[in-house]
Amino acid sequence: MRFKHLEDVKQTYFEHFRDALYYSFLSLQASVYFLIHGVYPDIFIKSGSATIFNINGQIINKYKK
């Protein structure tokens, strides 16, 4: 089976799968930061946003290559 998206991003299925799992883990981490911050606003004040910003930067840099 061929995937147009994989051709567009110039990755194999397993490279793409690895990256998707990595971003999924980071997104889950950010989600936990946001949840804890929602319950107790004095902790993880910038952690969730910083994690999302980091993910965005990594994806942007990947596609600049």
Q: What is the pLDDT of residues 7-53, one digit of tens each?
A: 999 999 999 999 999 999 999 999 999 999 999 999 999 999 999 99
Q: How confident is the model at residue 63 (pLDDT cuts 50, 70, 90)?
A: confident
- 47-65 burial code (b ≥16 CB/10 A, e <16): bbeebbeebeeeeeeeeee
Q: Kindly tell me if the per-residue pLDDT of 1 is higher than 90.
A: no
Q: What is the pLDDT of residue 7?
A: 92
Q: How confident is the model at residue 65 (pLDDT cuts 50, 70, 90)?
A: low
pTM for the whole structure? 0.84
- Candidates 22, 50, 21, 23; CA nearest to 34 is 50
